[in-house]
Amino acid sequence: MDFAESQEYLYSLGFELSVRKFGLENTQVLLEALGHPERNYTKVQVAGTNGKGSVCAFLESICVSAGIRVGLNTSPHLVSITERIRIGGEEIKKEEFARLATIVRGTGERLVEEEKLAALPTYFEHVTAIALLAFAEAGVDLAIIETGLGGRFDATTAARSEFAVITPIDLDHTNILGSTLREIASEKAAIIRADSEVVVSDQSEEAMEVIDARCAEFGMEPRRADLVSTEELNGGVTFVSANAKYGNVRLGLSGRHQIDNAKTAVAAAELLAENGFAIGNEDVVRGLEAARHKGRLEWFDGILFDGAHNVSGAKALRSYLDEFVEGPVTMIFAAMKEKDLSEISRLLFPRAENLVFATPSNPRSMPAAELAGFVPEGFPRQNVFVSGSVEEAVETARRVAGEGTILVTGSLYLIGEVQAALTRDH
């Protein structure tokens, strides 16, 4: 397959949320047939509701600064599927992705023919296997793997990572992971195994009780990232741990909430250093400052993008807008059907002067007309626009925004489509 063919094939397989398929068996059988590529390097698995991607970005950047041969597997992508697999800080080449996708496809089809699998692996299972195989062939020493959904039955968990990092847990995907914080925390804490070493971000008391109980099953103590104190001065942040002081860091990712994500990355980096990875204090500082994360408080072509798709993300975005964005905001917004938008809309919509709703070309997208039903009472109806397409939403926003800020938020799928459209326009 060439790159276009590999994408078409992968998209034909169905996503976990659409096919309602969860579990580790397919990925385990697939990895075994591929010769267990995941056993060739050390792995860090990152799970949680908020901040997973940012922690991965910080930690990858620290490792690159330290000269560690590092792989990174994240999801979802914004514009190109190659964004999901990075080696040494660089996206995988399209030709290389297609070559590996062809290998994984052939392996999956053979396993079905031999009746070792009942059905072909899903899109996410394929991409996880492609990433793990890419890392092995590239000879990475460390792979950082972002959990897709939950943890217990996520394909990434089949890699059996030696290090587990759990970022803040909140209510999200409640129709799949459970309706309570305790249930969701249990799904995410399931990535912790008997031989794991664990880093945990600051958590609610209820979520931490679940994580502590999981660790106690294996007689271990998690490392709490909240033990790292911070001092803010003149736009910089000094991180202080029991081991070191990292002075006056200018974080590469915007937003006050990134301080907590950086604390988690610092704790994870120190744990890796204690386990033989050559990461020095200066590597941590350089990595925190050089980190980049697409679609999270990112300015692109004069537009602000942020993938605030749950309540915690909406709170962080609202804080950033109130502190750093002056003047009127025109908000392009989209969301997936399973999202409870009552609190997200209460937090974000009043901060906008104009609301432009869009429907990304994803089967899970909530129709734009339905989104308009969440506009708060009293918001000027003449400033609410329902778009027939993402391109129309951008055109509308540019027309009504004037000198104000255009913000694209609510869904990473929306961000990807808008950025792809803007790239095509250049």
pLDDT tens, residue by residue, 265-283: 999 999 999 999 999 999 9
Residue 339 has pLDDT above 90, yes or no: no
Stretch (H or E) spanning 233: strand 229-233
C-alpha 270/C-alpha 122 separation (Å) is: 35
Looking at residue 116, its pLDDT comes to 97
Share of the chain above pLDDT 90, in %: 78
Stretch (H or E) spanning 8: helix 3-11
Strands 354-357 and 329-333: parallel
Q: How far from chain centre, in Å, is Cα 35?
A: 28
C-alpha 374/C-alpha 382 separation (Å) is: 15
Q: What is the DSSP string of 355-398?
A: EEE---SSTTBPPHHHHGGGPPTTS-GGGEEE-SSHHHHHHHHH
Domain 3-290 has CATH 3.40.1190.10: yes
Instruction: Output the CA–CA distances (angstroms, integers) from residue 319 to 16, 232, 255, 352, in the order listed.
Output: 33, 17, 8, 13
Max Cα–Cα distance, the chain, nearest Å: 63
Contact 339, 421 (CB under 8 A): no
With H, G, I as helix, E, B as strand and everything else as coil, classify residue 304.
strand
Looking at residue 409, its pLDDT comes to 97
Instruction: Output the CA–CA distances (angstroms, integers) from residue 393 to 110, 317, 417, in the order listed.
Output: 44, 21, 11
Looking at residue 226, its pLDDT comes to 80
Ordered by start, the domain boundaries in the chain are 3-290, 298-425
Using CB atoms within 10 Å of the CB of residue 393, give its burial: 0 to 12 exposed, 13 to 18 middle, 19+ buried: buried
pLDDT tens, residue by residue, 370-414: 999 999 999 999 999 999 899 999 999 999 999 999 999 999 999
Reported confidence tier of residue 22, pLDDT bands at 50, 70, 90: low
298-425 to CATH, choices 3.40.640.10, 3.10.20.600, 3.90.190.20, 3.40.50.620: 3.90.190.20
Contact 200, 245 (CB under 8 A): no
C-alpha 174/C-alpha 183 separation (Å) is: 9
Using CB atoms within 10 Å of the CB of residue 99, give its burial: 0 to 12 exposed, 13 to 18 middle, 19+ buried: middle
Contact 423, 79 (CB under 8 A): yes
Q: How far from chain centre, in Å, is Cα 261?
A: 12
Phi, psi of 231, deg, nearest 5: -130, 125
Angle between helices 52-65 and 281-290 (to 10 degrees): 130
Global pTM?
0.91
Looking at residue 178, its pLDDT comes to 60
pLDDT tens, residue by residue, 211-268: 999 999 999 999 999 888 888 887 799 999 998 999 999 999 998 889 999 999 999 9
Q: What residue type is 125 in one-letter code?
A: E
Looking at residue 175, its pLDDT comes to 56
User: Residues 78-84: what's their mean pLDDT?
Assistant: 94
User: Residues 72-98: what's their mean pLDDT?
Assistant: 96
The residue among 193, 145, 144, 204 whose CA lies nearest residue 169 is 204
Torsion over CA: 110, 114, 119, 121 (sign):
negative
Fold: same for 3-290 and 298-425: no
Stretch (H or E) spanning 86: strand 85-87
Looking at residue 18, its pLDDT comes to 46
